[in-house]
Structures are given as C-alpha cells and as structure tokens.
C-alpha cells in the first residue's frame, strides 16, 4: 500500500511486442497507429459484402434470370395450350353422358399417401368453386376402374378429371389450371 503514490512510467520503445501496456500512454498509441499504417487496407475493414455481391452478379444472377425465363415460357405455353376454345375442340377421350357435369375418378383409401393427397387436393379445389362433382371412387367399385381403363387405354393414375365430358387430366393439370386461373374460366 505504500507504493500507491508512485506513478507507473512506460518506456517509449517497449522491450517486447506482447507488452500490453502499449495502449496505456499517448506515446504508445501513436506507436500502435504507426504499426497499423504499415498494414494494407488500414482504413477499410475487410469488406465481405462486396466480394459476395461480385459473386452473385457474375455467377448467380444470370442463372436465376435463365431459370426465370424458362419458367415464364413454360407458363405461356401451358396457358395457351389450355384455353377454353382448345379444351372444347380437344379430341381426347370423352365420357359419354356427362356433358353437363364434372366427373372425378378418385380413391378414398389411404393406401398410397401421394395418391390420396392428390385426390384430396382435387376434391378441395372443386369444393372451393362450390360446383357439384360426380365423384367415382375406383377403390369402392371395380366397374369405375374398368370404365376409366377403357377410356384412357392404359392403367391411369388417380385422380382423373372429366369436365363436360372432355378429358382434362390428373392432379398436376388441375392444380396448374387452378393456379393460373384457367380452371375458373373452364367451369363457367
């Protein structure tokens, strides 16, 4: 306690680099500043965002634009291929006696999760339009399954949709038509 009156003096040239007392005096702070001036990019900290932005603009953006253009072209071709006029003039399979309604071949069994989810999604889409749908459950009546196989000439995946007797397609087509707004026009 008797040493509390003494003043600690720091030499101008410290004996070692690891001396922590460099920051305690003004003369040592100028030494630290001089040491920092020797380092490259003293005033500018390492700018991570600029190098990342250069990467994005040179590599990622052209790929994103290319994918965007591909997607937009696909939408244009599908929307033009599913217009009302072409849907009525299509020469695909026709379901006789159903010109005034919507017929959906589906399953109510949860044996295959994806199939059930697709059937449920199509059912909900048509339920949102509040239209009457003739649901033909192929898991409950084998005659519906045989009827669908003879119409499509192959073993079809479920669900399959016929609007006003015209074959429209499966769950993917119905979802796409719903998302683009074409389904509402077809149902009018």
- Does the structure show a pLDDT above 70 at 95? yes
What SS3 string covers 100-128? CCEEEEECCCCCCHHHHHHHHHHHHHHHH
C-alpha 8/C-alpha 140 separation (Å) is 96
Q: Which domains does the chain have, with CATH numbers?
A: 16-63 (no CATH), 84-187 (3.40.30.10)
C-alpha 152/C-alpha 158 separation (Å) is 12
Evaluate whether 169 touches 161 at the Cβ level (below 8 Å). yes
Residue 28 confidence class, pLDDT cut points 50, 70, 90 = very low
C-alpha 29/C-alpha 12 separation (Å) is 10
pTM of the model: 0.53
Closest CA to 102 of 4, 183, 6: 183
- Does the structure show a pLDDT above 50 at 187? yes
- Does the structure show a pLDDT above 60 at 84? no
C-alpha 73/C-alpha 75 separation (Å) is 5
């Amino acid at each position: 306690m008797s040493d509390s009156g003494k003043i600690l003096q720091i030499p101008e040239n410290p004996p070692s680099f690891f001396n922590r007392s460099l920051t305690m005096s003004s003369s040592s702070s100028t030494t630290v500043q001089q040491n920092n001036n020797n380092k490259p990019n003293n005033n500018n900290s390492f700018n991570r965002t600029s190098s990342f932005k250069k990467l994005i603009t040179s590599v990622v953006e052209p790929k994103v634009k290319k994918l965007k253009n591909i997607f937009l072209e696909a939408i244009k071709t599908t929307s033009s291929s599913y217009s009302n006029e072409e849907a009525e003039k299509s020469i695909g399979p026709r379901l006789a006696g159903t010109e005034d309604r919507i017929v959906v071949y589906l399953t109510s069994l949860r044996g295959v999760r994806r199939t059930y989810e697709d059937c449920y999604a199509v059912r909900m889409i048509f339920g949102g339009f509040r239209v009457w749908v003739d649901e033909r459950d192929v898991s409950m009546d084998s005659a519906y399954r045989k009827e669908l196989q003879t119409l499509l000439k192959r073993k079809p995946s479920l669900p399959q949709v016929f609007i006003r007797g015209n074959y429209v397609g499966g769950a993917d087509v119905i979802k796409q038509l719903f998302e683009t707004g074409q389904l509402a026009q077809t149902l009018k």
